[in-house]
Amino acid sequence: MASNAYIIANKRAVSSHPHRQPHLPLLLLLFSLFFIGKFDLVSALNYTKYTRKVSNLRLQRIQKHLEKINKPAVITIESPDGDIIDCVHKRKQPALDHPLLKKHKIQRVAPEMPKVKTLKRDEGSGDSKRKEGEDLIWQMWHRNGTRCPKGTVPIRRSTTRDVLRAKSLFHFGKKQSTTINPTRRADAPDVVSSNGHEHAIAYTGTSQEVYGAKATINVWDPSIQEVNEFSLSQIWILSGSFDGSDLNSIEAGWQVSPELYGDSRPRLFTYWTSDSYQATGCYNLLCAGFVQTNSRIAIGAAISPVSQYDANQYDITILIWKDPKLGNWWMGFGDNNLVGYWPAGLFTHLADHATMVEWGGEVVNSRANGKHTSTEMGSGHFAEDGFGKSSYFRNLELVDADNSLSSVHDISTLAENTNCYNIKNSYNNEWGTYFYYGGPGNNPQCP
C-alpha cells in the first residue's frame, strides 16, 4: 500500500461502512427533478424530506455551472458508494480557471518537505498503547482496484442533485463565516459563533509567525440530525483579522455533510478563503483555486473503514505547510503523499505566513424544534471517555520559519458549550501534544 496515512490501531477485523446508495443517471435525475422536484437523502437518518419546485431557467444555470466544474475525463470510475470519479488531465483541472492562475504553471519540482526534529519516544506512556498495523490508505472508490492514470487527477463529479441541496447556486460548495475568536473568554455570552456553529478546538497564540501545521486525526462517522448541519474535524491555517473581511484560511480534514455530499459518510476535504468566507474559496475542487497533483487521492471522496467504539481505531495524518522556495501552501496526506497546493497568489496575508493554527471539531446546530440537535462531534462521546471511545487529535506540530516541524507545547483550548461538546488536552512522549474532544449534542445537560 502507498503509505501509513491510515493506521490500524489494533488488528481485529473491522466491517465496511454499512450505507450504500445507488447512482442515478443524470438524465433520469433531471427528469425527476423537473417534473417532480423531490429528492431524499439517506433514509436511515432523521433527515427532513422536502419538495422543491425547480424552474427550467434554474436547471439551465445549474447545468452551465456543472459543465464548468466537471471537466472532461480521460477515464471515469464508479465508486461502490455511488460517487463518480473523473480522471481529468492535470492541466485541465478546475484550479486553472481562476483569474489569478490563467498563466500558472503547475509546480513540477517537489516542495521542500519540513525537517523533523528528533523526538524521544516512550512506548509505555499514557494513552500511547496502540499497535501500528499494516499500511493502509482507503477511499471508497479504490475498492474496485481501478486507479487514475499518470498525468491525471481524480475529481469527484458534481451533480444537479448536489447543487439543489445547497441554499442557492452561489452557496454551493461554500460555507459562511464560522471561525471563532479564541481571545474571547470561553464563558462570555457572545462566544457562541453565528449561524449555529459550535467548536471544540485547540489553538496557538496570534503573535507568532507560522509556516504550517500537522496532526493525526481520528476518523469516525458521527450522526447528523438535519440536512443542513455538518460535523467536521480539521486543521485551520489562519492569518488576517477575525472581526474583519480579510481573514485568510486554509483548512483540511474529514467531514460528514449531507447537504454537500448527499450521504452520511466521512470524507476527506479541503477549504480555503481569502476574504472571511464571503466570496472567495470553496470546499474541495468545487471552484478554481486548489491545484491537485496526486492521481490516487480524491478530495471529497469517502474514507473507509472508520473507527468503531471500543474496537479498531483509524486515523489520517494531514500536513499543511508553505514551500520555502516557491511560497505555495502544500497539503500532505499520510506518509509524505503530496495531494496538491494552494498557490500563494490566492491569498493576501497567507502570501507571507500564518499567525494562528487551530485543530479540532466543528458542528452546525440549527436548533431544530427549538432545542439543540443531536448532531455528533467526533465519535459522539465526550473527551473524558478516552481512547477507543472519544475522538482524538495527536502529535500536534508546527512548521517554523526554518521549515522545521516541532511538537506544539503552548496551546489553549476552547469549547463554547461543554455540556454539548468538550475538549481535554495532554502530552506524552509518543503522542506529543494531543487531545480528546467531541460529544453527542443534545442530552439532558444540553437541551
State the burial class of residue 34 (Cβ atoms within 10 Å of its Cβ: 0-12, 13-18, 19+).
middle
Written as nine digits, the cell of 348 is: 493576501
Q: Do residues 289 and 282 make contact, with C-beta atoms less than 8 angstroms apart? A: yes
Alpha-carbon torsion angle 271, 276, 279, 285, nearest 10: -10
* Residues contacting residue 374 through CB under 8 Å, at least 6 positions apart: 223, 225, 440, 441, 442
* Residues contacting residue 268 through CB under 8 Å, at least 6 positions apart: 139, 252, 253, 254, 297, 298, 299, 300, 301, 303, 316, 333
Adjacency order of strands within the sheet including 248-256: 267-273, 248-256, 231-239, 356-364, 197-203, 412-415
253 Rama class: left (phi>0) / alpha (psi -120 to 50) / beta: left
- Beta strands 391-399 and 432-438 are antiparallel
258/263 Cα distance (integer angstroms)? 5
Q: What residues are labeled active site? A: 251, 362
Instruction: Kindly report the length of the chain.
Output: 447
Neighbouring C-beta atoms of residue 168, cutoff 10 Å: 10
241/336 Cα distance (integer angstroms)? 32
Instruction: Report the candidate in 219, 155, 214 with the shortest Cα–Cα distance to residue 335.
Output: 214
- Rg of the chain, C-alpha, whole Å: 21
Half-sphere exposure of 162 (CA within 13 A, CB side): 23
Sign, CA torsion 438/441/444/447: positive
Q: Do residues 292 and 90 make contact, with C-beta atoms less than 8 angstroms apart? A: yes
